[in-house]
Structure 1
Amino acid sequence: MKAKKIAVIGAGVSGLGAIKSCLEEGLEPTCFEKGSDIGGLWRYEETPDTGRAGIYKSLTCNTSKEMTAFSDYPVPDHFPNYMHNSKMMEYLRMYARHFGLMQHIEFLVRKVCSVRKRPDFSSSGQWDVVVEADGKQQSYIFDGVMICSGHYTEKHLPLQEFAGPKQRGHSMWHWNFQSPEPKRTLCKGLGFILQIWSVTNTAVWLLEASLQPHKTIFPYLSRDINLKKNRYYGAFEIIYHNFFINKIHSTFSDDLPNRIITGKVRMKPNVKEFTETSAIFEDGTEEKVDTVLFATGYTFSFPFLEDDLAILDSQHSMYKFVFPPQLEKPTLAFIGLLQPVGALIPTTELQSRWAVRVFQGLKKLPSETDMLAEINRRKTRMAKEFVDSPRGASRVYYIDYMDEIASELGVKPNLLSLFLWDAKLAREVFYGPCTPYQYRLQGPGKWTGARAAILTQRARILKPLRTRVLQHSGSRSSGWLWVRSVCAVIFLSASMVIILQMIGH
Structure 2
Amino acid sequence: MSVSSTSTPPIQPTEAAYCVIGAGPSGLAVLKNLLQFGVQCHALERETDVGGNWNFGKPSSSVYESTHLISSKRMTAYEEFPMPASFSSYPSHREALDYLRSYAREFDLYSQIELGTAVNHIAPIAPNSWEVQVAGEETPRKYAGVIIANGHHWDPMSPEIAGTFQGETMHARQFKFSEQLRGRRVLVVGAGNTGCDIAVEAAVHADAAAISMRRGYHFVPKFIRGKPSDIVGDRVRSWYLPEFLKRAIVKHSIAFALGKPEKYGLPRPDHEIFATHPIINSQLPYYVGHGRVQVFPDIEKFDGDEVVFVDGRRQAFDLVIFATGYKLSFPFIDMQELNPQEGTPRLFLHAFHPDRDDLFVAGMIQPNSGQWPLTELQAKIMARFIAAQQNNPAVADWFRALKHASGVGLPHPQEYVASPRHRLEVDYYAYRETLRKLVRRFDAVKPL
Regarding TM over 0.5, the answer is yes
Q: How does 1:405-416 map to 2 (within 5 A)?
A: 405-410=435-440
* In structure 2, C-alpha distance between the alignment counterparts of 1:246 and 1:205, rounded to whole Å: 9
Query: Given the alignment of the two structures, is residue 348 of structure 1 paired with residue 355 of structure 2, yes or no?
Result: no
* In structure 2, C-alpha distance between the alignment counterparts of 1:154 and 1:311, rounded to whole Å: 20
Aligned amino acid, residue 388 of structure 1: A
Query: Given the alignment of the two structures, is residue 115 of structure 1 paired with residue 122 of structure 2, yes or no?
Result: yes
Match of 1:401 among 431, 440, 443: 431
Q: Is the 8 A contact 1:170 1:291 kept in 2?
A: yes
Q: Is the 8 A contact 1:270 1:281 kept in 2?
A: yes
Aligned amino acid, residue 373 of structure 2: P
Aligned amino acid, residue 359 of structure 2: L
RMSD, matched Cα: 2.6
Note closer, same or farther for the CA distance 1:222–1:256 as it changes in structure 2 (3 Å cut): farther
* In structure 1, C-alpha distance between the alignment counterparts of 2:15 and 2:35, rounded to whole Å: 10
* In structure 2, C-alpha distance between the alignment counterparts of 1:370 and 1:91, rounded to whole Å: 35
* In structure 2, C-alpha distance between the alignment counterparts of 1:128 and 1:265, rounded to whole Å: 52
Match of 1:199 among 187, 206, 212: 212
Partner of 2:268: 237
More helix by share: 1
Percent identity (aligned): 26
Contiguous gaps of at least 5 residues in structure 1: 413-441, 445-505
Partner of 2:417: 387
* In structure 2, C-alpha distance between the alignment counterparts of 1:201 and 1:143, rounded to whole Å: 46
Query: Given the alignment of the two structures, is residue 319 of structure 1 paired with residue 322 of structure 2, yes or no?
Result: no
Q: How many angstroms does 1:403 deviate by? A: 0.7
Q: How many angstroms does 1:238 deviate by? A: 4.8
Larger Rg: 1
Q: How many angstroms does 1:255 deviate by? A: 2.8
Q: What is the DSSP-based 3-state SS (H/G/I as helix, E as strand, rest coil) of the residue aligned with 1:197? A: strand
Q: How many angstroms does 1:367 deviate by? A: 8.1
How many residue pairs are counted as aligned between the two chains?
393
* In structure 1, C-alpha distance between the alignment counterparts of 2:299 and 2:249, rounded to whole Å: 33
Note closer, same or farther for the CA distance 1:387–1:28 as it changes in structure 2 (3 Å cut): same
Q: What is the DSSP-based 3-state SS (H/G/I as helix, E as strand, rest coil) of the residue aligned with 1:272? A: strand
Match of 1:167 among 158, 161, 165: 165
Contiguous gaps of at least 5 residues in structure 2: 1-13, 203-208, 224-228, 240-244
Note closer, same or farther for the CA distance 1:117–1:248 as it changes in structure 2 (3 Å cut): closer
Query: Given the alignment of the two structures, is residue 29 of structure 1 paired with residue 41 of structure 2, yes or no?
Result: yes
Partner of 2:25: 13
Match of 1:306 among 331, 334, 340: 334
Note closer, same or farther for the CA distance 1:218–1:207 as it changes in structure 2 (3 Å cut): farther
Per-residue deviation, residues 148-197 of structure 1 (Å, max 9, x unmatched): 001123221111xx33x211100001111011222211111122132311
Per-residue deviation, residues 232-251 of structure 1 (Å, max 9, x unmatched): 23444254x6x5x6323311
* In structure 2, C-alpha distance between the alignment counterparts of 1:95 and 1:357, rounded to whole Å: 21
Aligned amino acid, residue 282 of structure 1: V
Q: Is the 8 A contact 2:157 2:326 kept in 1?
A: yes
Match of 1:221 among 218, 240, 249: 249
Note closer, same or farther for the CA distance 1:71–1:238 as it changes in structure 2 (3 Å cut): closer
Per-residue deviation, residues 391-428 of structure 1 (Å, max 9, x unmatched): 2121001111011111111179xxxxxxxxxxxxxxxx
Q: Is the 8 A contact 2:62 2:154 kept in 1?
A: no
Note closer, same or farther for the CA distance 1:53–1:90 as it changes in structure 2 (3 Å cut): closer
Q: How does 1:17-416 map to 2 (within 5 A)?
A: 17-45=29-57, 48-49=58-59, 52-109=60-117, 111-119=118-126, 121=127, 125-132=128-135, 135-159=136-160, 162-163=161-162, 165-180=163-178, 181-182=181-182, 183-191=184-192, 192=194, 193=196, 194=198, 195=202, 196-210=209-223, 211-212=229-230, 213-214=233-234, 215=237, 216=239, 219-227=247-255, 228-239=259-270, 243=272, 246-310=274-338, 312=340, 314-327=343-356, 330-361=357-388, 363-364=395-396, 371=403, 374-375=406-407, 378=410, 385-410=415-440
Q: Is the 8 A contact 1:312 1:324 kept in 2?
A: no
Q: What is the DSSP-based 3-state SS (H/G/I as helix, E as strand, rest coil) of the residue aligned with 1:80? A: coil
Q: How many angstroms does 1:77 deviate by? A: 1.0
Q: What is the DSSP-based 3-state SS (H/G/I as helix, E as strand, rest coil) of the residue aligned with 1:249? A: coil
* In structure 2, C-alpha distance between the alignment counterparts of 1:365 and 1:286, rounded to whole Å: 62
Aligned amino acid, residue 112 of structure 1: V
Per-residue deviation, residues 133-162 of structure 1 (Å, max 9, x unmatched): xx3345322222110001123221111xx3
Note closer, same or farther for the CA distance 1:101–1:368 as it changes in structure 2 (3 Å cut): closer
Note closer, same or farther for the CA distance 1:377–1:13 as it changes in structure 2 (3 Å cut): closer
Q: Is the 8 A contact 2:20 2:149 kept in 1?
A: yes
